[in-house]
Amino acid sequence: MRMRKSTLITILVVLALAGLALGGYLMRDAFNLSGADSSQEIRATSRGRGALGDADSEAASLRTVAIPVEGMSCVSCVASVTRALNRIEGVSDVEVSLEDREAKVIIIEGKVQLPDLGKAIEEAGYKPGEPVETGKP
């Protein structure tokens, strides 16, 4: 069976669009996004490398740090900042909000220095503000 060139192109375009839609859906689930349009908040949450196994000792030594982040404009920016912070030993959890232009990082006390968080954000290509400890998670 022989297909016309225009039919083949149409089929390829439809398949490509379906792949993009599926990829966006999977990306949304992977980053726990609460919406994709500008009226909703875009946020990524993930567990870091430094999570402890014992919940009681972990809760006693965890602190939350809020860091303003300038330069983020899309979901990829949120993912980049999240990955950069998660690479730091002693980071337990990261939540980056595009709407608030802020990263909330749960750290294990004594394992992370606050300047290291800003340095990781800078190395990812964004401008960190002054980290502020907000207390226990």
pLDDT in tens, 72-119: 999 999 999 999 999 999 999 999 999 999 999 999 988 999 999 999
24-73 pLDDT, tens per residue? 544 544 454 444 444 344 555 555 554 444 454 555 689 999 999 999 99
The answer to whether residues 62 and 86 touch, using CB atoms and an 8 Å cutoff, is: no
- For residues 29 and 36, what is the distance between their CA atoms, to the nearest angstrom? 12
- For residues 120 and 87, what is the distance between their CA atoms, to the nearest angstrom? 8
pTM: 0.61
* CATH number for the domain running over 43-135: 3.30.70.100
